[in-house]
Amino acid sequence: MWPLPEPALDARAVYATCISKTRPAKVKARLRQLEDTVAAAADEYEKAAATASLHNLKHLEDQPDGNDMSKGDNKKLTGCYTSRMARNGSAGREIYNQLIKSARRGRCPLCGHGFADTIDHQLPKIAYPLLAVTPANLVPACLPCNKAKGEAVPATAEEQTLHPYFDDVTDYVWLAARLTAPPEPGVTFFVDPHPDWSPTLTARVQRHFTTYKLARLYAAQVGTELAALNDYLRGKPYRAILDEIQARATSYGTRNSWQAALYRALAASPWYVKSGYLNEWDD
């Protein structure tokens, strides 16, 4: 997961922009009446996200309608995102584009691999319509990651996936890989938590890793990488092979990327350096 700066956007101003061209006038008037409620919910959200406490916002779920579905306010609020922000030509489309462009190198911060071409609601808009256009709740993401989390709502702190705007676990190498030898050589990626992490943070990192299916995503990239590497290493002496792999591992530094984890695992494997590179790798 890659951290991102929290959007420098005021939640009230974003909401006002999104509803500015709403028609008919009766719907616009009702959305204006909800502005203070939306702004207050956004403030609560930011405070909860900063303390990994999004699970404590249950009182905002299905609001403002609650059980009274006849009012239709929830539908109006979710429409602020679908029709008034995400839609091309809508009043809030420039804000949507700004959020998409905030992704580092255009990559999804949730997996660090796919292209960030959608917006993911950290708390789903269907459950939290008051937060449908709250900037801190809108994260640029690739479509697979967006779909992977779906409409999941955390019931506990441990169930919260990492939030790119509020969580940063890049100060420690926690993404690791292990090699398996023949008859089925392969690479498996996993979370190696910091010994000083709290049980809650460890659970959240693991939840993130599992929710976004990162082990499978990263393993799918290995075959092409190793095919090219193995061809390059064939015929070289042991010392040259070890030096090459260690140099590549060092070049990635302490990044939590699948490439960095892969080369760290290769460099630590005497079997791979001696003969493992001669095998066919299916992963």
DSSP 97-147: HHHHHTSGGGB-TTTSSSB--EEEESS-TTT-GGGTT-GGGEEEE-HHHHH
The DSSP bridge pattern shows strands 186-191 and 175-180 to be antiparallel
Q: How does pLDDT run along the chain (283 residues), one tens digit per residue? A: 889 999 999 999 999 999 999 999 999 999 999 999 999 999 999 999 999 999 999 999 999 988 766 679 999 999 999 999 999 999 999 999 999 999 999 999 999 999 999 999 999 999 999 999 999 999 999 999 999 988 989 999 999 999 999 999 998 999 999 988 777 778 999 999 999 999 999 999 999 999 999 999 999 999 888 889 988 998 899 999 999 999 999 998 888 999 999 999 999 998 888 888 887 665 4
Give the global pTM.
Answer: 0.91
Distance CA 250, CA 247 (A): 5
- Give the pLDDT score at 70: 63
| Residues forming beta bridges with residue 161, ordered by sequence position | none
Boundaries of every domain in the chain? 11-153, 175-278
Distance CA 223, CA 241 (A): 19
- Give the pLDDT score at 162: 97
- Give the pLDDT score at 283: 45
Distance CA 13, CA 278 (A): 60
